Homo-oligomer: A and B are copies of this chain.
Amino acid sequence: MSELRRDPISGRWVIVDIDHPNKPEDFEHEPHAWKAGICPFCYGNESLTPPEISAIRDPCTLPNTPGWQVRVVPNKFPALQIEGELDKRGLGIYDMSNGIGAHEVLIETPYHHKDLPDLLPQEVESIIWMICKRALDLINDKRFKYILVFKNYGPSAGASLEHSHTQIIALPMVPKNVMEEIKGAQNYFEYRERCIFCDIIRQELQEQERIVLENKHFLAFCPYVSRFPFEVWIVPKKHNIYFCHMPQEEIPSLASILKDILTKIRNIFKSPAYNFLIHTSPVDGDGTEGYHWHIELMPKLTRVAGFEWGTGFYIVSTPPELAAQYLRQQK
Contact = CB atoms under 8 A, between A and B. Distances in A.
Contacts of A152: 305-307
A61 interface: no
A268 B24 contact: yes
A16 B319 contact: yes
Interface residues of A, number: 95
Contacts of A269: 24, 27, 29
B10 A224 contact: no
Interface string A295-310: 0101011111111011
Max chain B C-beta neighbours (<10 A), residue from A152, A197, A307: A307
A165 interface: no
Interface string A173-190: 001111011001100100
Contact of A272 (B7, B8, B29, B319): B29
A135 interface: no
A259 B224 CA distance: 41
Contact of A93 (B3, B148, B203, B326): B203
A319 B279 CA distance: 28
A247 B217 CA distance: 61
Contacts of A29: 269-270, 272
Given A311-B175, A318-B21, A150 B9 contact: no
